[in-house]
Amino acid sequence: MGSAGPGLRARIQAEGKAWDIIEYCHGKGLGAAHTSLPNDLNPAGVAKIRQQVNRYDMRLTVGLRTPRTEADLGKYEAAVKAASEMDGRVVCVHDSFSGRRYEQFKNAAEYHTFFDACKKGVQMAEPILRKYKMPLAIENHKAWRSGELADWVKSAGSEYIGVCLDLVNNVSLVETPQQTIDTLAPYTLFVSFKDIGVDFYDQGILLSEVPFGDGYLDLAGIVARFQKKNPAMLFQLEMLTRDPLKVPVFTEQYWKVYDDKSPVSPRDLAMLIEWVRKSPPKRPLPRTSGLSPEGVLALEDECNQRSIDYARAYLPL
């Protein structure tokens, strides 16, 4: 298991350098980290990362923005080349592409225009990925439903295009975690590993990452499933420290980003509501409102450490 959540990554990388997250993860006894390459691809910075991961015997996933236009291809190729020269330590490059579908777009047409542009970007990137034998993991990051992402990966027709499977993101797109896992498992390159707490509020569903064991995912079963698929499967701990995410599925605006090209069935909505109803929080969902920056940091470190301790005690990672 490796890594830490984007909240922590953002804090560390804003205050330090891309390699600081590697030091943090190594200090926690983790076997991998999710980071980025230096923006300018400075050879000394890239070499420092390579030396770190070799010294610590760690693996990496590397966040890298997929090209959106042909003008981006030169810089993208240089970054993929740098990732490929990490002595085989980089499992894949990774892109989440989007924000939240129901917040980012006003209607379904806007969404489809964006989705088509993302597909075009991956099409442009594929020859570069193939040249350097570097896989790209596309995250199901609250934009595309799992069926849309699976169809996208299949249509790419490349062994170098796969999925970063976030276990819970698609709850915000009217799927239960099990639906998402079943659909995307065949294409998964690494797992964004987390547990989930859910509840209702007046306009929809509250969604929170919670420390391992505080939620309702069968984490041991998930690990076994993906280790059977790939004994070297990487499970990246992701812990967001924030107030619960509000998913306003009971509002009219939420549904304006779906249409006949990307439908949501009444059955899916009923299944999700039933799953939330049967999964009440085991303890109050984590919240950061009213906390000082130091308090948020303390909560984040506590949640990370509780998850790491749980994994060591109960999961074969």
| pLDDT, position 17 | 66
Of 4-18, 44-58, 151-165, give the lowest mean pLDDT range: 4-18
Query: What pLDDT, on a 0 to 100 scale, did the predictor assign at position 315?
Result: 96
Check pLDDT > 60 for residue 295. yes
In the chain, the domains with their CATH numbers are 6-314 (3.20.20.150)
Q: Please, which residues have CB within 8 angstroms of residue 65's CB and are 6 or more apart in sequence?
A: 72, 76, 95
pLDDT of 5 strictly over 90: no
Q: Say how far apart CA 33 and CA 132 lie, in whole Å.
A: 21
**Which pairs with CB-CB distance under 8 Å and at least 24 residues apart come from 197-200?**
197/244, 197/281, 197/282, 197/285, 197/286, 198/171, 198/275, 198/276, 198/279, 198/281, 199/244, 199/276, 199/280, 199/281, 199/285, 200/276, 200/277
Whole-number percent of the chain with pLDDT over 90: 89
Find the mean pLDDT for residues 140-166: 97
Range 302-306 average pLDDT? 94
Per the prediction, the chain carries an average pLDDT of 93
- At 276, the pLDDT band (50, 70, 90 cuts) reads very high
**Does the pLDDT of residue 146 top 60, yes or no?**
yes
pTM (2 d.p.): 0.93
Q: How far apart are CA 214 and CA 286, in angstroms?
A: 11
Q: Which whole number is the average pLDDT over 103-130?
A: 97
For residue 91, pLDDT beyond 50: yes
pLDDT band at 317 (very low <50, low <70, confident <90, very high): confident
- 213, with CB counted inside 10 A (0-12, 13-18, 19+), is middle
Answer yes or no: are the C-beta atoms of 53 and 59 closer than 8 Å. yes
pLDDT reading at 10 higher than 60: no
**Percent over 70 (pLDDT), the chain:** 95
DSSP symbols for 97-115: --S-HHHH-SSHHHHHHHH
Cβ burial of 114 (10 Å; 0-12, 13-18, 19+) is middle
Question: Which residues fall within 8 angstroms of residue 302, CB to CB, at 6 or more apart?
Answer: 211
The predicted-structure confidence for 65-75, as pLDDT tens digits, reads as follows 999 999 999 99
Q: 209 CB contacts (<8 Å, ≥6 apart)?
A: 5, 168, 194, 195, 196, 197, 238, 239, 240, 286, 303
pLDDT-derived band at 4 (thresholds 50, 70, 90) equals very low
pLDDT at 117 over 50: yes
Cα of first residue to Cα of last residue in the chain, in angstroms, is 6
Rounded average pLDDT over 30-39: 92
Residue 122, helix vs strand vs coil: helix
For 183-217, what is each residue's pLDDT tens digit?
999 999 999 999 999 999 999 999 999 999 999 99
**What per-residue confidence (pLDDT) applies to 2?**
64
pLDDT tens digits for range 229-253:
999 999 999 988 899 999 999 999 9
